[in-house]
Amino acid sequence: MRIACPFCGERGISEFSYRGDATPRRPSGDGAEDAQAWENYVYLRDNVAGPMLEHWYHAGGCHAWLEVTRNVLTHEILAVKLAHQPQEPQTHG
């Protein structure tokens, strides 16, 4: 399997570390959530059979976090993008 890093180009899977499902969203932590929201976040995951959005880290390259859409049945990479866009430097003046 090969992943096309936006910075480094196409690379072998051995350069990347898999984090997992990119869709769960952490509860905000403002105290408004109940224990059930945290239990769902920590323990409940969908068992996807097909395209899945995943986080991958380019450990052997540019150290970028990527969002990879991969078909978990065929391992076909459908899309790759940066997990977070770099922020523009702020100027003071």
Task: Of 79, 86, 66, give the one whose Cα is nearest residue 20.
Answer: 66
Element (H, E) at 53: strand 51-57
Q: How far apart, in whole angstroms, are the C-alpha atoms of residue 70 and residue 73?
A: 9
Question: Which has more confidence, 23 or 89?
Answer: 23
Average pLDDT of 67-77?
97
Confirm if 69 and 78 have CB atoms less than 8 A apart.
Answer: yes
Question: What per-residue confidence (pLDDT) applies to 6?
Answer: 95
Question: What per-residue confidence (pLDDT) applies to 27?
Answer: 86
Average pLDDT of 52-58?
97
Which pairing describes strands 9-12 and 2-5: parallel, antiparallel, or unpaired?
Answer: antiparallel
All domains of the chain in start order, with CATH:
2-82 (3.30.2270.10)
